[in-house]
Structure 1
Amino acid sequence: MLLELHPQNPNPRNLHKVIECLKDGGVVIYPTDTVYGMGCDISKSEAVERICRIKGIDPKKAHFSFICSDLSHLTDYTKSVDTPLFRLLKKTLPGPYTFILPASRQVPKLLKTKRDTVGIRVPDNLICRTIVKELGNPIMSTSLPIDAYVEEYTDPEIIHEKFGKLVDIVIDGGPGGMISSTVIDCTGPEIELIREGAGSWEEFA
């Protein structure tokens, strides 16, 4: 199903359909402030496993991140974040960054890495943040089952043509981007750039 949601004013009825789908263990493709992503409610392990099958990856080796609606979720899913780091997160989020942080016990096992870390995203995109807020749980964030984002994958209609049969809902939230988020590891003594993407590394260097 291709479902339209206005980027600034998402239709409550269509929004409700997405929330119900996620609560039922569904998989959706949704817009972020970078590329279109694929995800599910993080508490639905069968949906997480289904995404792994779609992408042909081993759940034990996967590196998933998830989307929070704001920084208040951090205390639930990460171990204590010190004041300088919290200030840094507050300065850069919402924005096109994924921060790798120490995972708390509330993070589902399937979404933790062997290092007991988790990737957290707070995108500057009203649609996905509203979905998370209404759902009451973060949603898993992973890329589409493609090798690289090219121009055609910025168009939700083409995304629906290619992947609509694999997922339950493709959200049309307008054109997406082609560059993924910048990934920053905050678990060591120094903040480390893992992948340079849409977010500026100069904020941290």
Structure 2
Amino acid sequence: MAKYFDVHPDNPQPRTIGAVADSIRNGALVAYPTDSCYALGSRLGSRDGISRIRAIRDLDDRHHFTLMCQNFAQLGQLVHIDNDVFRAVKAATPGAYTFILPATKEVPRAMLHPKKKTVGVRIPDHVVTQALLAELGEPLLSSTLLLPEEAEPLTVGWEIKERLDHQVDAVVDSGDCGTEPTTVVDFSSGEPEILRRGAGDTARFE
């Protein structure tokens, strides 16, 4: 049965955030809010977390997992990014964008696209997510909480607890966080290719 954490959306309680971070460090898979709907998250490098997310979402090995980063210092350790791409990504973050970029050796192989050796990265604009990332001190392995054959991601904390009670270890609820997933932009070739149109404005990449 999943633990349920009720977190204030504007002033996250440090003790509660600390408890969630401790759960993740101990191997928990959590459902947590972001600036563009809920995500599933586990500790970076957790093979168990990767396999459980694949099972919940029915994903194949071509799926791009996302590394949720607190800031550019973290992001820069995980992906190769040249000056032009850096400026474009920097101008759009924090925000509701996921960027696909060539991964560095810091990223576990199990997370990478098998042929392209790329990974998704993003810096969220969400108080609770940022508080959790700050407490963790490392990126969070993540994927949008979109269940198989459902058009809309799950967005209500108590409903997620009800639906996934025996598939996740914890649910973090801080109220409404929107229903639209991130806009996904692939920069792996150096030029922007929009893979998914979502909450982030695509005009700057077209």
- Mark yes or no: TM-score above 0.5: yes
Instruction: Find the counterpart in structure 1 of residue 151 from structure 2.
Output: 148
* 1:7 maps to 2:20: no
2:51 aligned residue: 49
Identical amino acids, percent of aligned pairs:
35
Partners of 2:126 and 2:182 in 1: CA distance: 13
Q: Which residue of 2 is the match for residue 94 of structure 1?
A: 94
> For structure 1, which runs of at least 5 residues remain unmatched after alignment?
none
TM-score (norm 2): 0.91
- What CA distance in whole angstroms lies between the structure 2 residues aligned with 1:50 and 1:178? 23
1:110/1:165 Cα in 2 relative to 1: closer, same or farther (>3 Å)? same
Q: Deviations over 1:162-190 (max 9, x none)?
A: 11221111000111211110000111142
Note the alpha carbon deviations across 1:74-93, whole angstroms, 9 max, x for none: 221012x2222212222110
Which residue of 1 is the match for residue 110 of structure 2?
Answer: 110
Superposed CA offset, 1:50-78 (max 9, x none)? 222333334x3332112000111122101
Unaligned runs of 5+ in 2: none
- In structure 1, how many angstroms separate the alpha carbons of the residues matched to 2:181 and 2:30? 18
For 2:138 and 2:112, locate their aligned partners in 1 and report how far apart those are by CA, in whole Å.
16
Flag as ranges the 4+ runs of structure 1 deviating above 6 A: none
TM-score (norm: length of structure 1): 0.92
Pairwise CA RMSD:
1.5
**Deviation for aligned residue 1:137:** 1.8
- 8 Å Cα contact 2:74/2:138 also seen in 1: no
The 8 Å contact of residues 185 and 196 in structure 2, kept in 1 or not, is answered as yes
2:175 equivalent in structure 1? 174
CA contact (8 A) 1:42 1:48 kept: no
Partner of 1:69: 70
Partners of 1:110 and 1:42 in 2: CA distance? 11
What do residues 122-167 of structure 1 show as CA deviations (whole Å, max 9, x unaligned)?
A: 11112112212211221122122522216xx322111111112211
CA deviation profile, 1:11-36 (whole Å, cap 9, x unmatched): 11111110110001100000000111
